[in-house]
Amino acid sequence: MALPDFTMRQLLEAGVHFGHQTHRWNPKMEKFIYGDRNGIHIIDLTQTVPLLHQALVQIRDVVAAGGRVLFVGTKRQASEPIAQAAQQCAQYYMNHRWLGGTLTNWKTISNSIRRLRELEELFEGEARGLTKKELLNLTRERDKLQLSIGGIKDMGGVPDLMVVIDTNKEEIAIQEARKLGIPVVAILDSNCDPDDIAFPIPGNDDAARAISLYCDLISRAVIDGISQSQGASGVDIGAAVEPAAEVLPEAAADAS
């Protein structure tokens, strides 16, 4: 494995350079703006290329050191690519709606994860003795929990790095990461605030092709990190790319 390569042409073809209308910009992004065309800001890809590379190196290094990466993208066009990328590299994701306190109140989130697991175990069995109405209600509860926290149920604690597609949409998530000192890799469109983003990547955060490109590169960087951390010991990387389940208090007590 190796850190994924990408070219300026790939970024151009994916529309990474297209920002928002000039009147919608955030002046803090001025240093990343090349100019404007037909009322649309053009992002300076000569800055995007090295910054994207730097972010990929950081992602790889965090994972190589045993760290966890949380992908966050709850907007419509990011939801599916975010989930696919995280699953492909055995990491974690929030792609439906950010739940306030996901990072800063992990104990409460752990309770919800425990409940989701209980329901999954129930439905893996025969769920005997339940009425149709009870089954329907439990199914709805399970599906709701799966939608909101299914992507983080095996995370086992707060992540070591967070990857964000739209900083305006995911403002609360970024605030929580900042509070806990979790570094953030973020795609920054022309209307975003780059302050406190440890690893900024100037680029279009709306175009489907651009989002897919980011997700693919980041996922491959994670896999490279896993390869680095496990390859030397002869571990089969293909078999090893599987998230470890969180050990909940009850399970730990039972094990002892």
Tell me which of 1-10, 22-31, 208-217 is least confident.
1-10
Nearest residue to 157 (alpha-carbon basis) of 64, 255, 247: 247
| Mean pLDDT calculated for residue range 114-140 | 87
Q: Which amino acid is at 75?
A: K
Task: Give the separation between CA 57 and CA 40, rounded to whole angstroms.
Answer: 31
pTM (two decimals): 0.87
Count Cβ atoms below 10 Å from residue 229 Cβ, excluding itself: 18
Q: Are 231 and 237 in contact (CB under 8 A)?
A: yes
- The pair of structure tokens assigned to 23 is 């009147």
Q: How confident is residue 234, by pLDDT bands cut at 50, 70 and 90? A: low
- The pair of structure tokens assigned to 56 is 């990929």
SS3 42: strand
Q: How confident is residue 242, by pLDDT bands cut at 50, 70 and 90? A: low
Q: E strands, the chain, where? A: 18-21, 33-37, 40-43, 69-72, 92-94, 161-164, 184-188, 199-202
pLDDT at residue 252 tops 50:
no
**Strand pairing of 18-21 and 40-43?**
antiparallel
Biggest CA pair distance of the chain:
67
**Percent of the chain whose predicted confidence (pLDDT) is above 90:** 83
pLDDT at residue 2 tops 90:
no
- Chain segment 61-114, per-residue pLDDT in tens: 999 999 999 999 999 999 999 999 999 999 999 999 999 999 999 999 999 999
Nearest residue to 250 (alpha-carbon basis) of 149, 113, 133, 135: 113
